[in-house]
Amino acid sequence: MGTFLKKNWFVSLVIVAFLGMTIFYIYDTNKGKLKGKTVNGEDVVYTVGDSDVTAAQFYDDLYKTSGTSTVVNQFQRAVSDSAIKTTNEMKDKASKQAASIISDYKSNYGADYESKLASDLSSTGFTDLEEYLIFQEKMDQIAADYAKAHFDDLKIRRISYILVKFDDSKNVTEEPTATEKAKMDSVDKALAEKKEFAEVASEYTEDDAAKEKGGDLGVIDKNTSTLDSTFFEAAMALSEGQVSDWVKSAQFGYFKIKCTAATQETLEASSETEDPYLNLITGYDTTLANTALWEKGQEIGIDFKGNEELEKAVRTAFGIDDAEKKN
C-alpha cells in the first residue's frame, strides 16, 4: 500500500481534494457503507442503491464537470505542499499579511468587504486567506529556487543606473542639449575620480526612486520584459562590474548603467538582507512559476500512472511542450 501511494501521490491528492468538496454529503448519506469497501481492488467512495462509485470514477466525473482549472489548482497545491513544509514563521507572516489585506478591504468596500474578499479569494481556488498566502509564499520560493538553479541560463544580474532626463521630453534633440551634456559630464567626472557608482547615483540621478537606493534597479534576467528595451539590451550586454557608455532612451533620457553582479557569488554577497532570487521572480521575471513548479513535480516524483488526459491538461496549462517532456 505504501509503495502504491508513493507512486500515485498526485492522483491520490487530487482525488482527496475533490472529495473535500462533497465529503459531508457522502458521509451523511452513506454512514457505515464506506469503511474498507472495494470493488475489483479499487476503493469505493460512495454507494447509491446497488451501484458502487470508485475513486477513479469519482475523479473522472468531477474532472469533467470541474474542468482543468480545478485540476491545475490541486496540482499546484500538491507540489508546493510536498516540496515545502509549512512553518510557524510562514503562519505568522500570513497572519500579519491577512490582517493588512482585510484592513484594506474594510477601507475600500465598507460593510461589503467580507463578500468582496470572499469573491476575490474564490477566484484563486481558496476559501481561507491565510492558507492562500502560505501557498503563494511556497510558490514564490519554488520559483526562486528554480531561478537560482538556472542562474547561467537565465543570465541573471543585478543592475544599477543613473538617469539624466531630457530637458524637454516633447522636443528631444538628436544630440544632448548643453544642459543635458553638463549633467552627464558631471557624472563622468565623479566616476573618473573613482567615486562609488552608488554614491554618484544618489547625488546625480534624476530618478527619485533610484536616488534613494543608490541607483539600484534590482535583479533582472533574460525574460525581463517590463523595462525600456534600449535600457534592457544595454544592461544585459554588460559584464560584472562594467559601466556602460551613455545610453539614450527615447522615452526617458540618458542612462549610465552598471552591472553590479553577474555571478551567483557576487549577487548573493550583495544581497545580505534579501533573497535576490525572490527579488527577481516577484519583480522583473514573473514567468518562471509554472516551469519551476513542473520541474519540482518531476524532482519529487510525480507520476500520472498513464492518465494521459490529466497529464496533458496540466502540461498545457503550464505551457510545457512535448519536447521538454521527452527530455
Q: What is the pLDDT of residues 263-291, one digit of tens each?
A: 999 999 988 778 999 999 999 999 999 99
3-state SS, residue 259: strand
CA angle 60, 129, 121 (to 5 degrees): 60
Domain range enclosing 187 = 157-261
In 3D space, the residue among 301, 277, 282 whose CA is nearest the CA of residue 78 turns out to be 301
Identity of the residue numbered 181: K
pLDDT digits (tens, 9 = 90+) for 233-271: 999 999 999 999 999 999 999 999 999 999 999 999 988
Q: Identify whether 73 is part of a domain.
A: no
143 and 288 fall within a common domain: yes
Q: Identify whether 53 is part of a domain.
A: yes
Whole-number pLDDT of residue 274: 87
Q: Identify whether 221 is part of a domain.
A: yes
What beta strand segments (E) does the chain contain? 38-39, 42-48, 51-54, 157-165, 216-220, 247-249, 253-261
Within a 10 A sphere around the Cβ of 28, how many other Cβ atoms?
8
161 and 253 fall within a common domain: yes
> Average pLDDT for consecutive 10-residue bins of the chain (327 residues)?
36 41 40 53 62 63 65 85 94 97 95 94 91 96 97 97 95 95 98 97 94 95 96 97 97 97 95 89 93 91 76 85 54
Whole-prediction pTM: 0.77
168 and 142 fall within a common domain: no
| Angstrom distance (rounded) from CA 178 to CA 201 | 20
